Structures are given as C-alpha cells and as structure tokens.
C-alpha cells in the first residue's frame, strides 16, 4: 500500500486508541438471530444462494506444476477438476463425463498422460475439455462431439492463487475483490510459494467458526498468553468493503516487536516498517481469512460440512525458494499458529451447543464487531431478504460505512 494509505490507516489507529465511544451516527446494531446458525430452512437458503455463486479459493499453481497436472477439488460439493493445459493455462471442469456422468479422475491429484478419460466407458477429452474420442461411435445416431465437451467451471487467478465460481453470471474476480485485489496485486504475490497444508474438523456451524477470525474483542480472554501479548486490540481499525469483504488492521503493542516465529525467514520484497509494525487481516467473502505478514501468510479457508460442523483449511505461503527453506523454522511457526487455533476451536464448539438451546435469545454486536454484522448483511443480500423469514433477517445498516477504495 502507498504512503497515503499507510498515513490514513495510521491516523485511524490513533483515533481508535483515543476514542471513548463509537463515532457519531454509527447505528445500534440489531441482534443476530441465533436461528441463523441452526435453522435448517435458513441454512438451505445459504447453501443455494451463497456457496455455489461465490468466488472461492481452490488451489495454488504449485499444485499444478506442469501440463497435464491436475487437482480434484470437491470442497463445495460439486466434483471439479482443476488442471494445467498445454498452453500453460489453468482450467477447471466438472469431473463429469458427458456420456453418463462417469468420473474422469478419481485420485485427489496427479498427471494426465493422454487427456481426461472416463473411468466408465472410456470417452476421452483433451486438456481443453474437448471430446476427442469415444468407443463405438457408430452406435450413436447423430452425435456431434462438439456438443459434448466437458462443462467448464469459471476459474481465475489472483497472482498464483486459483479461485473458482460455479456462477456464470458472477463478476470477474478482480471486480469482485475490488480494493482487496488492488492491495494484493501491489505485493509480490507471484513469488509466494506453497509451504504446507492442514485441515481441522470443528464441531460448529461455519459462521460461528468464521466470526472468531473477524474480531479481536476476544483476545484478552482467549489469547491472553499469546496474541494479546503483542497486538494492541484497542488500536485496531476496521475497513468494510463492498461485496462483504473487510480488513482488520491491528498494531503491535511495541513498534520494535518481532514475531519470534519468523526469525530466520526471508521477507517479501518491498516490506516497510508499517508492514512490520501492524497486522492486517483480510476477509475475502465468504470464507477466506488471511493475516498478512512480511515473512508469509496463511489462508484460513472455512467450509460448511453439516449444519453444525465445519472444516478449516490452513495453507501457508512464503516468499522463498522451497529448496532453501528452513523447515525447522516453518515447523515452529506453524506450531505457534496452531497453538492459537487450539485456544479458539474448543470454545466455538461449546458456543454451537449454546446456540441450539432455549437460552440463546440473540447476539448483540459492538462497534468493533461490525465485520460480523457486515458479513451477515451481505449474506442476506445474496439470498434476497424476501426469501428469509422476518425473524431471521439482518437489516442492511452499514452501507454508508462501507468504502469503495483505499483513498
């Protein structure tokens, strides 16, 4: 980010530290209805109108090292094969043969020697998804192979990160991300390499899991011996963007503080003191949270499994050469991060039980928790308020507090 933006954000940090109440005109936020975490009808609306129409992080180019390499991606329910073609382009298709729906690949990842071959009847497609061969063509009356190509899935990149959407009418990824896209493309993200990947199963609704990443109000109680020791949550400034995205920027308690878990790790080129002294955490709506640090960053990607279970994927990226990577340092860094997650995850599982009890009457949110309200309001906009029972709606109260850019 440029000097003007850094100066603006630094001023906001000081304003946050000094304020004694929310800014004038900020609305009192209505309670979030507990049924949004438990009601099956509401969760069905969420599944229909959110997950299959959103841009979702799916892979990193390091997972597709050469022509014919592929990854089978099924986090959103639909079987999708993401591959690198002979022109070095990344493509995505439904993993469904156009004959009778047989799978084209069955392993989670691999190399395709002769294209995509259906495991059921042997129909064959090239890496562009074109049907190029089928057994006993003489028995198919009037079949036009050009009308039976694989069904593509929209697939775009942010640097080396690959996003997909099943919505043919979704805006381009860059337009969807807006200022978030501008922030990341100003970083040397093309040099970020994939370090590691872990998954955690959590017994709570995915929204409860996500909300813990969207505020720092809980730091003193939950992370008193870890994050609260170095982040000054009273100085945290929040920026709400269109399409549900948001930024939470938290300053270090001391300007000279250095994360011990990053010692020995190279920084991204162009890193400034502002980057070292503050911790920006982005939420890319709906389910990606990434706290950016000079020595690399994790993608926390959250997925609904059932109404009351979720999956958390933590994938680390670093600005270094994998052949020169200090695995001991990275093991320490991941261990420190997982320790922090271990302070959160058991707690949100207990909150899920509470939300499904008669004692849950509504969730009041403070000014510093407004990212959560912003997220829920975006969800209702995507579903359509008219489809949601009135008792479960979240009114769009933060539009005038939402920004369209960095300046």
405 is written with which tokens? 């850019």
The tens digit of pLDDT for each residue in 58-96 reads 999 999 999 999 999 999 999 999 999 999 999 999 999
As a dihedral over the C-alpha atoms of residue 247, residue 158, residue 403, residue 375, rounded to 10 degrees, the angle is -60
Residues 314 and 303: beta-carbon distance below 8 Å: no
Name residues whose C-beta falls within 8 Å of residue 181's C-beta, 6 or more positions apart in sequence. 158, 173, 174
In CATH terms, are 3-55+191-403 and 56-157 the same topology? no
Residues of the chain by 3-state class (helix, strand, coil), percent to 5: 35, 25, 40
Helix (H, G, I), strand (E, B) or coil at 41: helix
> What average pLDDT does range 339-343 have in this prediction?
94
* pLDDT-derived band at 205, boundaries 50, 70, 90: very high
The tens digit of pLDDT for each residue in 234-252 reads 999 999 999 999 999 999 9
pTM: 0.95
Q: Compute how many other C-beta atoms are within 10 angstroms of the C-beta atom of residue 108.
A: 10
Residue 361 backbone phi and psi in degrees, to 5: -115, -10
pLDDT at 326: 80
Answer whether the bond into residue 54 is a cis peptide, omega within 30°.
no
DSSP 8-state class, residue 386: G
CA 184 to mean position of chain CA atoms = 14
Residues 211 and 345: beta-carbon distance below 8 Å: no
CA 118 to mean position of chain CA atoms = 32
CA 280 to mean position of chain CA atoms = 15
284 is written with which tokens? 């890319």
- Single out the residue of 109, 75, 92 nearest to residue 287, CA to CA: 75
CA 212 to mean position of chain CA atoms = 14
CATH superfamily of domain region 56-157: Rieske [2Fe-2S] iron-sulphur domain (2.102.10.10)
Name the H helices within 134-254: 173-177, 179-185, 206-211, 219-222
Residues 205 and 307: beta-carbon distance below 8 Å: yes
Range of lowest pLDDT (51-60, 262-271, 282-291, 388-397): 262-271
pLDDT score of 121 more than 90: yes
Q: Compute how many other C-beta atoms are within 10 angstroms of the C-beta atom of residue 344.
A: 17
Selected residue with higher pLDDT from 131 and 265:
131
**Which CATH class, in words, describes the domain spanning 3-55+191-403?**
alpha beta
Q: Give the domain ranges of the chain.
A: 3-55+191-403, 56-157
């Amino acid at each position: 980010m440029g000097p003007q933006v850094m100066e603006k954000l630094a001023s906001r940090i000081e304003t946050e530290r000094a304020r004694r109440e929310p800014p004038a005109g900020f609305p009192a936020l209505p309670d979030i209805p507990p049924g949004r975490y438990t009601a099956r009808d509401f969760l069905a609306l969420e599944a229909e109108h959110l997950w299959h129409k959103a841009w979702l992080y799916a892979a990193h180019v390091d997972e597709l090292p050469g022509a014919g390499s592929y990854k089978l991606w099924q986090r959103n329910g639909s079987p999708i094969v993401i591959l690198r073609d002979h022109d070095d382009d990344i493509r995505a298709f439904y993993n469904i043969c156009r004959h009778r729906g047989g799978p084209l690949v069955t392993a989670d990842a691999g190399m395709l020697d002769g294209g995509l071959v259906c495991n059921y009847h042997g129909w064959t497609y090239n890496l562009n998804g074109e049907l190029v061969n089928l057994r006993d063509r003489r028995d198919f009356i009037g079949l036009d192979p050009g009308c039976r190509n694989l069904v593509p899935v929209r697939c775009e990149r942010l640097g080396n990160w690959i996003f997909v959407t099943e919505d043919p009418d979704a805006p381009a990824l860059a337009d969807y991300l807006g200022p978030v896209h501008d922030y990341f493309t100003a970083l040397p993200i093309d040099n970020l390499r994939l370090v590691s990947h872990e998954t955690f199963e959590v017994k709570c609704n995915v929204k409860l899991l996500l909300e813990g990443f969207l505020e720092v109000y809980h730091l003193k109680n939950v992370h008193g011996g870890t994050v609260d020791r170095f982040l000054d949550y009273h100085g945290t400034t929040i920026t709400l963007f269109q399409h549900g995205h948001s930024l939470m920027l938290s300053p270090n308690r001391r300007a000279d503080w250095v994360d011990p878990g990053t010692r020995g790790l190279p920084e991204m080129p162009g890193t400034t003191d502002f980057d070292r002294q503050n911790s920006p955490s982005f939420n890319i709506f709906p389910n990606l949270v990434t706290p950016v640090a000079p020595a690399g960053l994790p993608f926390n990607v959250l997925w609904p499994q059932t109404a009351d279970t979720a999956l958390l994927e933590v994938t680390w990226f670093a600005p270094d050469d994998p052949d020169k990577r200090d695995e001991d340092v990275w093991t320490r860094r991941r261990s420190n991060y997982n320790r922090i997650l271990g302070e959160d995850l058991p707690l949100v599982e207990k909150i899920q039980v509470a939300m499904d009890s008669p004692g849950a009457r509504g969730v009041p949110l403070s000014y510093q928790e407004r990212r959560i309200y912003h997220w829920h309001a975006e969800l209702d906009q995507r579903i359509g308020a008219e489809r949601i029972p009135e008792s479960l709606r979240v009114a769009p109260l933060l539009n005038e507090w939402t920004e369209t850019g960095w300046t």
